[in-house]
Chains A and B, each alone.
Chain A
Amino acid sequence: MFSRISWIALLCVALTALAGAAEPESAPAAPSLAERLETAVRSSDDARIEKVHQDVLAAAEREANQYEWRILAAKGYLARADLLRVQRQMGKVSEEENSAMREQQAIWGKAGAEHAEAAKRLATTDQEKSEAYRLSGECTVHRINGPFAGMRYGPTAKSDIEYALEKNPENWEAHRAQGLMFLNNPPINGGDLDKALETFSECAENDGDRDAYHALLAQTWMKKDRPERARLEVQKALAGNPDNLLARLTKERLEERKAW
């Protein structure tokens, strides 16, 4: 009797072990990679972002029908393209380097937009749709590497970001994306530095006073030729995150102008 029970127990253990071995390797938990990606983005270290992003892309390939992975994949491309934009705009790069970086920005923008497009289809709630459209809009902006690309992608990017805000007016990242358009576009295409200041200030007020918003406020004040006002925002950004590349480069520009 005892022996029969033992055999049954042994069989159960063996079957369980076999079932575990046969199960395909599952993707790492999304939240942990999401946190790793966020930490890497805050470090402004492209090599670190790239490393985490490769893991994210592998997971997104395995589970292509998962909204979360598509969103993270798009976020990774966006972060890398954003970093290039900051280096181009605020760093000291040659014309040759500038155009090579702009091309790379467009490549990452396209890849990010493809993941965001997939996320749009997979989104089920208004909040999810808002985030997918926001990422699609921001990635599409990076595809603009000349006047023709501007005519082709500008309106799409703008309408995606507006749709993201329509779906979730509390999506402060979408507000930031809209602020970036006010900051970077020429006035004829809707650029407006005062609106950029207003938008980034609202973001900082409503979304945890994050360093990214203060760095953008500093960049906007610099563009308005108000180094005094930029200095305070740089200090706020660096107090929140000493690695923020935009804040660090803006500080360098202020030091050059003896306005630090």
Chain B
Amino acid sequence: MVTGSLRALALLACFLMMMVAAGCSSTRALRSGDYGSVAPDDLVKAGKSHDSELAPPLRQLLETRLNQGEDAVSEDQAIEAVIALGKVGGRRDSAILLKVLETEPSADVRFFAVDALHALDAVAFQEAAPRLRESEGSDLVRGRYDQPLAP
């Protein structure tokens, strides 16, 4: 009886370790800065992890896109990174989101950055929204400032 329970516990522990290992491997490329091999699905997992330690590499990924463009980080990766940052990030991430809203060339990425900024720092959002809305070139993104998704 006791042996059976111990065996079950050992199996459960193995399963949990495998799950943790799988989670780590999916974010390894992101943590190491090898953005070329970060799959968009890995960024989705990062967003669902609720692991605030992933916020800095997500910030760095977005910074890399802004500095080096589409060849370094694709539009799809940037969208998933913005959505993930909106879930695992905090107020300190509002600076990079503001930068995305000001300089990111893709309207799709900016669309998601509106919601992410609103979710992470409502005060910064309220302060910046009128100015950003004014200079926004896309109707869809402009509309998003009026109706950001509730965090």
Contacts and interface: CB of A to CB of B under 8 A. Distances in A.
A100 interface: no
Contacts of A152: none
Contacts of B143: 235
B140 A228 contact: no
A259 interface: yes
A84 B88 CA distance: 41
Given A228-B83, A258-B150, A259-B149, A235 B112 contact: no
A232 B44 contact: no
Interface in A200-233: 226, 228-229, 231-232
Contacts of B112: 228, 232
Contacts of B108: 232
Nearest to B82: A228
A259 B150 CA distance: 8
Nearest to A226: B44
Contacts of B79: 229
A131 B32 CA distance: 49
Contacts of A231: 149
B150 A235 contact: no
A258 B79 CA distance: 20
Interface in B33-62: 44
A218 B108 CA distance: 14
A85 B146 CA distance: 34
Nearest to B147: A260
A176 interface: no
B83 A239 contact: no
B60 to A, nearest CB: 22
B139 interface: yes
Nearest to A194: B41
- Chain B interface secondary structure, helix, strand, loop or mixed? helix
Contacts of A228: 83, 112, 115, 149
Contacts, number: 20
A124 to B, nearest CB: 42
A232 B111 contact: yes
Contacts of B149: 228, 231, 259-260
Contacts of B140: 232, 235-236, 239
A235 B44 CA distance: 22
A235 B142 CA distance: 12
Nearest to B41: A194
A259 B111 CA distance: 14
B139 A239 contact: yes
Interface string A224-260: 0010110110011001000000000000000000111
A260 B44 CA distance: 19
Contacts of A258: 150
B44 to A, nearest CB: 7
A66 to B, nearest CB: 42
A236 B139 CA distance: 10
Interface of B: 44, 79, 83, 108, 111-112, 115, 139-140, 143, 149-150
In order of increasing CB-CB distance, the 8 nearest A-B pairs are A235-B140, A232-B111, A228-B83, A232-B108, A239-B140, A236-B140, A228-B112, A239-B139
Given A228-B115, A228-B149, A236-B140, 12 more contacts: A228-B83, A228-B112, A232-B108, A232-B111, A232-B112, A232-B140, A235-B140, A235-B143, A239-B139, A258-B150, A259-B149, A260-B149
Interface of A: 226, 228-229, 231-232, 235-236, 239, 258-260
11 contacts: A226-B44, A228-B83, A228-B112, A228-B149, A229-B79, A231-B149, A232-B108, A232-B112, A232-B140, A236-B140, A260-B149
